[in-house]
Structure 1
Amino acid sequence: MKAVLIAAALVLGAGAATAQQFDYGFAGLMGKANRVTLPSLTLASGKPVSDAPIDLKSGTYYKMKIVADGSAELALSGGDFFRAIWINEIVINKIEVRPMGVHSLEFDAGGEAEISFIAISPGSYSLSIPGSSGDSQKAVFNIR
């Protein structure tokens, strides 16, 4: 009912109503109370991508940095992981990308990307360096 009255007031020009007047603060899945910052993933020649498996909770909003030191041209690939999450954005050099789908991120030189997403489908997924087979060359995500 409140939403109908607000919409009617706006349509009829009953003043400059704003979201703050009606207490519609930014909340829900992407609100600050539901935001978790994950440890950064590392892309460096001869170094592990992640120290340990990363546990995620379905329905929670996460931010994670991927940092490449430039010691080698490296990528992280994981189509299954990217299909198990909803990606809000990937930020590269202060450019925000809002993709419909991702399969991998490749770094030709040193740099940083930040990905923000909501974990969706429970299961175990990984982001790994293509062509590598060692356990330290991937990050494992467990969505519960």
Structure 2
Amino acid sequence: MKILSILAALTLATPVVAHDLGFAGLLSNNNKEDLEPLTLSVGQPIADAPLMLKSGTAYEIEIEADGTGELALEGAGFFRAIWINEIVINGIEIRPLGVDSIEFDEAGTVEIEFIAIKPGRYELRQPGSTGDGQRIEIVIQ
């Protein structure tokens, strides 16, 4: 019984020790790619080209709304094909279990740090829009 208690304690302590020593693995600053920011603005395209991602790679992207309207991005398929480490809004870090959409009621910026997981073609789209400029295609290879 004592051996099981020791093993349990070591198992629980290992991630803390590894994190404290700076072994961040995929999410360390050396292994993360910064993507071009996306901009939400009434009547303007979200991006110029599709995002090309590689499965197993860590990324960080900024999404900025300029305040010209209440704007959102939805993309349940994309958000389910990635693992989100954190979403940062005004310096507040959020570690969600899942995301369906992000909405801006006023100007602001959100940073999303994630790992691309499931290969496929996805999109983020402004809800209710039909124009190609109000969407961005995302390809995970």
TM-score (norm 2): 0.84
Of 42, 50, 67, the match for 2:47: 50
Question: What are the within-5 Å matches in structure 2 for residues 29-108 of structure 1?
Answer: 29-108=26-105
Q: 1:68-124: per-residue Cα shift (whole Å, max 9, x none)?
A: 000010100000000000000110011111000000000000000000000000001
Max radius of gyration: which structure? 1
TM-score (norm 1): 0.82
What stretches of structure 1 of length at least 5 have no aligned partner? 1-6, 12-17
Residue in 1 that maps onto 2:127: 130
Aligned length: 128
Q: 1:24-60: per-residue Cα shift (whole Å, max 9, x none)?
A: 5424211223200001111100111111001000010
Distance change in 2, residues 1:19/1:123 (3 Å): closer
What is the DSSP-based 3-state SS (H/G/I as helix, E as strand, rest coil) of the residue aligned with 1:47?
Answer: coil
Give the Cα–Cα distance (whole angstroms) in 1 for the partners of residues 139 and 106 of structure 2.
29
What is the DSSP-based 3-state SS (H/G/I as helix, E as strand, rest coil) of the residue aligned with 1:33?
Answer: coil
Residue in 2 that maps onto 1:120: 117
Give the Cα–Cα distance (whole angstroms) in 1 for the partners of residues 119 and 134 of structure 2.
22
Give the Cα–Cα distance (whole angstroms) in 2 for the partners of residues 69 and 141 of structure 1.
22
Give the Cα–Cα distance (whole angstroms) in 1 for the partners of residues 70 and 89 of structure 2.
16
What stretches of structure 2 of length at least 5 have no aligned partner? 1-5, 11-16
Report sequence identity in percent: 57
Measured after TM superposition, the shift of residue 125 of structure 1 is: 0.5
The letter for the 1-side match of 2:81 is: A
- Runs (4 or more) in structure 1 with deviation over 3 Å come to none
Give the Cα–Cα distance (whole angstroms) in 1 for the partners of residues 68 and 45 of structure 2.
13
RMSD over aligned CA atoms reads 2.0
